[in-house]
Amino acid sequence: MRTAADLKKVLHKIDGRGYKAYKDIEGKYDCGDYILLVDHVQGDPFASPSHVRVQVPGKMAGFPSETYSNKSREVALRDFLTRRFLEATRRFSKGNRGTGKSGIISIDRPGQEILERTSAFVTEEYVEARFVMGLPAFGRRIAGGHAQAMFFEELPRILHASLFYKNLHEKTLHEHIRTSEDADFLRDQLDRLGLVAFVADGAILPRASGIDPAPLRGGRVVPFEPPESLLVEMELANRGAITGMGIPKGVTLIVGGGYHGKSTLLRALELGIYNHIMGDGREFVVTNPYTVKIRAEDGRYIEKVDISPFITNLPFGQGTRAFSTEDASGSTSQAANIIEALEVGAKVLLIDEDTSATNFMIRDQRMQELVSKDKEPITPFIDKIRQLYQDLGVSTILAIGGSGDYFDVADLVICMVEYRPYDLTIEARTIAERHKAGRTPEGGESFGPITERIPLARSFDPSKGRREVKISSKGLQSIVFGTHAIDLGAVEQLVDISQTNAIGDAIYYATRYMDGTRTLGDIVDAVLKGTREKGLDVLGPRPTGDYAEFRGLEFAAAINRLRTLSARKKD
């Protein structure tokens, strides 16, 4: 192994040479209290920054074993270290040092959620951080002196401020770990208690803005206050007893006037699949881990999905048991989104009336009289929502303000008034009894089939030009896979671009399991098993610091939106 002195010599030697001479520094260096690994050097100062790792021996890093004694704690600790490293780069990195990305030192940027990431690792042997450095140049000539300052002045300060236990705020670190562990503990109890979600007493649900996920602060913030009838006490691993609103399995409506908090509560439940950092306000808002948000998605691609539980008898004899389209309507897309989610194990559906297709959600008595059922292909969701629960055990939480007909099928009705929830189930049932809807149920005797599909490997081509594999994320909502873009704009539970990075590479990784017999569900399970056993690194060709954990539901959603996808129905 080379030493820090060797790195200095190389940087001095290549100073002023063409940028590609930076390739000479790739390798492993003993820097005393840490090991430096330069894994990949960028080819140009304007290209993506170089990939670098450091490993601090476990004894030097000094993290007590209880800080990573189980998976929950380990993930939280790694998240904490990533955040501290990022903070330290802002304090000690001088930033721009020349052309293009010269001078950058940066690491993955966590948001409000605590996710398993590849940016930091903790074992008994070492603590590792993975980050990027923009190797400095003026024009395309190496600025060796500036590079030395980055490696031997700025980087050591960043490392000592973030990867050594003695230099961290001990109380904050332990609270971060315990908060995340308690959220996992809370979520794990839901199913046993017959619940699909829990919202803690005093939680702060509103966000600062539509583009700022931090909690809203100020005089108009209303802490969450559970109705007495839904009050549940839960025991946490670290904090002891906690109270909050438990939402039971079944069909739940969230009603109320506009701007009173329906969508705010639904959005909090939507992100309750993740743990949140201290101070977020939603630390103890948790939902079943197989909860999925469903919406209409005009124009999306659909490949051989059996949407017959919702749509049949299309004009000109078009079948719906293996429905395909390049340009789905609102109703067909929402039907497909539900069936695709059920195909890979969804247990709870979250639906907002505001982002749904009206004709998919309801057909009232007057419309039924005007357009007879034999002329209407769509069976509205209102006639399938109870069958979803009775036949498949799938619960639904629906935010709705425009149709009281849903009172007839609801187990629970929560009314939001000025951001406070009230249990109005009895009142809703009384109204439903007093004002009969008059509509005729159209759902038949059962929900209908969930037909599995087998993706065909030949329809996955990641090549572009001379590149055999060209996959990249373009922000949170798009993946370029070869020459095709996957639109994830309607996959609302993705929260981090590092998840998108991982999903893009996971699609290519998944092709090894596409043998013509495995269903989409089988393939999703195989990929997730691989990442659990071998880590997220298994998805890519080399160690990377910009992957974050993702669920099978979002992974399958990305595959379903690849416009070259070809599949066949399972026999």
Can you list the domains of the chain with their CATH numbers?
A: 2-168 (no CATH), 190-295+346-451 (3.40.50.300), 453-569 (no CATH)
What one-letter code names the amino acid at 443?
Answer: G
The answer to whether residues 469 and 527 touch, using CB atoms and an 8 Å cutoff, is no
The answer to whether residues 301 and 496 touch, using CB atoms and an 8 Å cutoff, is no
pLDDT score, position 278 = 97
Residues 6+ apart with CB under 8 A from 83: 110
280 pLDDT higher than 90 = yes
Q: Which two tokens stand for residue 327?
A: 């340009």
- Say whether pTM exceeds 0.75: yes
Residue 383's SS3 state is helix
97 pLDDT higher than 90 = no
pLDDT score, position 337 = 98
88 pLDDT higher than 90 = yes
Beta strands in 257-411 (DSSP E): 275-276, 285-287, 291-294, 302-305, 323-325, 348-352, 395-399
The pLDDT tens digits of the residues spanning 433-443 come to: 999 888 999 99
Backbone angles phi, psi at 129, to 5 degrees: -125, 140
Distance between CA atoms of 178 and 237, rounded to whole angstroms?
8
Distance between CA atoms of 410 and 391, rounded to whole angstroms?
16
DSSP-derived letter for residue 154 is I
220 pLDDT higher than 90 = no
190 pLDDT higher than 90 = yes
Q: How confident is the model at residue 536 (pLDDT cuts 50, 70, 90)?
A: very high
Can you tell me the mean pLDDT for 6-19?
Answer: 96
If we measure between CA atoms, which residue out of 234, 228, 286, 246 comes closest to residue 422?
Answer: 228
382 exposed, middle or buried (CB, 10 Å; 0-12, 13-18, 19+)? buried
The answer to whether residues 465 and 447 touch, using CB atoms and an 8 Å cutoff, is no
